Structure 1
């Protein structure tokens, strides 16, 4: 038997081919492994996203305590951990849902409000007086009225022009307005109960631009004197608090922030989306556009004197467009003065709540809760009378979320960053 010599070059060639084949096989195995890891990673991340959505669905149907992290299991995966945290943010709630599946994490924060598909156009407290409609007043939607009902009236020769009194169903109201769930918190917020170890201070001056994420501590600016907001851009998790007053100029851009002061004045043509909490007066000048979800809130426990020089009030002037909540709440008011005025050619899309006298000259596309209406004309005062006011609940978007009243469900009004 003859042995044939193999050249060294051929052996080298075979060795190189073998190494290349081994590298290719190894790379192929590594690629498959990497693809499986990526697929598993994406699967975990997708599951975390789904769990966050399940968390917000859970919030809408279940009562979750404030400021207490609550863990929920939304899948059979033992690697899942989903935490729900509910807190207040003005008249709304703020909910953060965080889900972790193994090493994958997803978090989302939403501004939560009360949602009620079967809401009334008007709830008028029973004060033993009928509701009187005059002029071009039109109320569209179901209503809750005093036992004495509703009738057409006449002011200075102007009668009620409608074909029918109420364009909807009627039911009886009670001697009290429906309660707002978080009214005590609003009171505490005005009294600086937001101050804790989790807030941080910042300097506010003309020209400042600040964006504070809701995943960060609340940024707070406090001033004992009046604050004039001019040429500033403030967005996010920010509270501005003055012991005297706050004036908002049209050169300012505010989004999601909260303003707290005894008196807040919003000057002409301001555009923004923010919440105002006051104890004495809110003035909104002509041409302002407050985007959803904004809120104008006046809350006071102070009982008025018999003849005070000036009463607590919210005054919204002409040609304004406000989307959100307008709330006036006070222990005692005057029988012959209006505590909340919505001027003509002004539209509120959302909810108006007034436990004193409401003068409605404009339009509300949504719901009105009022203790009494009042109208002033040619020096005379007409009690429980609406003159040229419009209420139409059918023009309120179904997705609207606002005040937490009664059995309303909790849904997302806006996603926060």
Structure 2
């Protein structure tokens, strides 16, 4: 006959054994779930990478997200949405297995060509003077390039073009991609926004994995002491003034006229139908864009002006479909540095000490000195394609070369 103490001791031992057994079972289940979760995550990551490859290979923009059953088993699926974001395609990729989802967003760029200068052939040569230096492959009028004597000094270089070849250009510039221009022009059309009420913008961040936030600005909008980041598009019916205290990162702005105050620093895409005027000592980080497109509502000569000592990383372009007497103009003031591409279907007005690292395309150069207005003259200007970073990617606005990931987005 067992004593009561022995029975009590047996119950206690059994209790502890049950607790240890239950703990081991729970621990095993936890590790199993973690293992399965890690396997699903790895599989989702692999699927996302497949989605990135698919998006880079895909042609055009889709109106609706495209859903793909990767393996035909209705388990692994991809959703790929391609839409324009300014002059770049924006891809939003979602990979999902049952309730698990992984998302990524990216801007897509394209490899730029190796051309430093494309000057359309208007039967006038390009004249270089002073400390001008052109480095890279150049496409120039049949009349060529020549040394000139201006402002009491000759051309100081030993070669006319360094580290590249010279070929003949055509009477017109290489055309821009129609569907990219159409997307921007639609946003510049005021009828696109008439159904949207005016909104006073406040500081916020919108993920590119979420829906786009549209803001219609009041008349003569002043963006001051504001932080806007991400998936945001702003539109105005008149002037937009951007102060030096505004913090813009990745957003787009459409308006007839955009004015940027001296000292501004940010990254954005600015589009206008009349003018974009940028103050002195501004800094635009890559990939920024400034574009002016002539429409039926534009002024006589749409223009872009970049103030003295400004640094711009990205693309500056002006466009008109039909050539007019008052062609579009891009003006780069003294000491400006542009890393990327500048394209004008009209004039590019350059001042001394301007440096363009990348590609320049225009019909005519204009240079203003205190004494004279020169056409197709470059005085103390640097054009260098070879210094452009190997990581720089262009836009499908200019070419249809190999696509690559330009920027991963939040």
TM-score (norm 2): 0.89
* Equivalent position of 1:345 in the other structure: 335
Cα distance in 1 for partners of 2:158, 2:181 equals 39
* Structure-to-structure mapping, 1:161-200, within 5 angstroms: 161-167=156-162, 168-181=164-177, 182-192=180-190
* Equivalent position of 2:103 in the other structure: 107
Residue 294 of structure 2 is aligned with which of 295, 300, 305?
A: 300
* Structure-to-structure mapping, 1:77-96, within 5 angstroms: 79-96=75-92
* Structure-to-structure mapping, 1:389-408, within 5 angstroms: 389-404=381-396, 405-408=398-401
What is the DSSP-based 3-state SS (H/G/I as helix, E as strand, rest coil) of the residue aligned with 1:42?
A: helix
Contact 2:200/2:217, CA 8 A, preserved across alignment: no
Contact 2:90/2:108, CA 8 A, preserved across alignment: yes
* Equivalent position of 2:127 in the other structure: 132
Cα distance in 1 for partners of 2:375, 2:46 equals 54
Cα distance in 2 for partners of 1:136, 1:150 equals 15
* Equivalent position of 1:212 in the other structure: 206
- Aligned-pair CA distance for 1:73: 5.6
What is the DSSP-based 3-state SS (H/G/I as helix, E as strand, rest coil) of the residue aligned with 2:403?
A: strand
Unaligned runs of 5+ residues in structure 1 are none
What is the DSSP-based 3-state SS (H/G/I as helix, E as strand, rest coil) of the residue aligned with 2:115?
A: coil
* Structure-to-structure mapping, 1:17-416, within 5 angstroms: 17-72=13-68, 79-116=75-112, 118-167=113-162, 168-181=164-177, 182-192=180-190, 203-204=199-200, 208-223=202-217, 225-302=219-296, 311-330=301-320, 331-334=322-325, 339-361=329-351, 362-404=354-396, 405-416=398-409
Alpha carbons of structure 1 residues 364 and 243: separation in structure 2 relative to 1, 3 Å? same
Cα distance in 1 for partners of 2:172, 2:160 equals 23
- Aligned-pair CA distance for 1:196: 11
Unaligned runs of 5+ residues in structure 2 are none
- Aligned-pair CA distance for 1:412: 2.9
What is the DSSP-based 3-state SS (H/G/I as helix, E as strand, rest coil) of the residue aligned with 1:186?
A: helix
Cα distance in 1 for partners of 2:114, 2:191 equals 32
Cα distance in 2 for partners of 1:338, 1:298 equals 8
What is the DSSP-based 3-state SS (H/G/I as helix, E as strand, rest coil) of the residue aligned with 1:400?
A: coil
Query: Deviations for 1:155-175, whole angstroms, at most 9, x for unmatched residues?
Result: 233322111111112233323
Query: Deviations for 1:250-281, whole angstroms, at most 9, x for unmatched residues?
Result: 12111212221111111111111111111111
Cα distance in 2 for partners of 1:368, 1:285 equals 22
What is the DSSP-based 3-state SS (H/G/I as helix, E as strand, rest coil) of the residue aligned with 2:61?
A: coil
Cα distance in 2 for partners of 1:55, 1:293 equals 23
Contact 1:271/1:290, CA 8 A, preserved across alignment: yes
Contact 2:328/2:345, CA 8 A, preserved across alignment: no
Cα distance in 1 for partners of 2:83, 2:197 equals 20
Greater CA drift, 404-413 or 350-359: 404-413
What is the DSSP-based 3-state SS (H/G/I as helix, E as strand, rest coil) of the residue aligned with 2:386?
A: helix
Contact 2:318/2:328, CA 8 A, preserved across alignment: no
What is the DSSP-based 3-state SS (H/G/I as helix, E as strand, rest coil) of the residue aligned with 1:22?
A: helix
Cα distance in 1 for partners of 2:308, 2:46 equals 45
Cα distance in 1 for partners of 2:297, 2:188 equals 17
Aligned residues, how many? 403
- Aligned-pair CA distance for 1:302: 4.0
What is the DSSP-based 3-state SS (H/G/I as helix, E as strand, rest coil) of the residue aligned with 1:159?
A: coil
Query: Deviations for 1:184-223, whole angstroms, at most 9, x for unmatched residues?
Result: 21111211576599xx867326xx3222222333323324
Alpha carbons of structure 1 residues 222 and 294: separation in structure 2 relative to 1, 3 Å? same
Cα distance in 1 for partners of 2:223, 2:254 equals 13
Cα distance in 1 for partners of 2:97, 2:153 equals 68
Contact 2:61/2:84, CA 8 A, preserved across alignment: no
- Aligned-pair CA distance for 1:410: 2.8
Alpha carbons of structure 1 residues 126 and 231: separation in structure 2 relative to 1, 3 Å? same
Alpha carbons of structure 1 residues 82 and 196: separation in structure 2 relative to 1, 3 Å? farther
Contact 2:276/2:304, CA 8 A, preserved across alignment: yes
What is the DSSP-based 3-state SS (H/G/I as helix, E as strand, rest coil) of the residue aligned with 2:286?
A: strand
- Aligned-pair CA distance for 1:338: 7.4
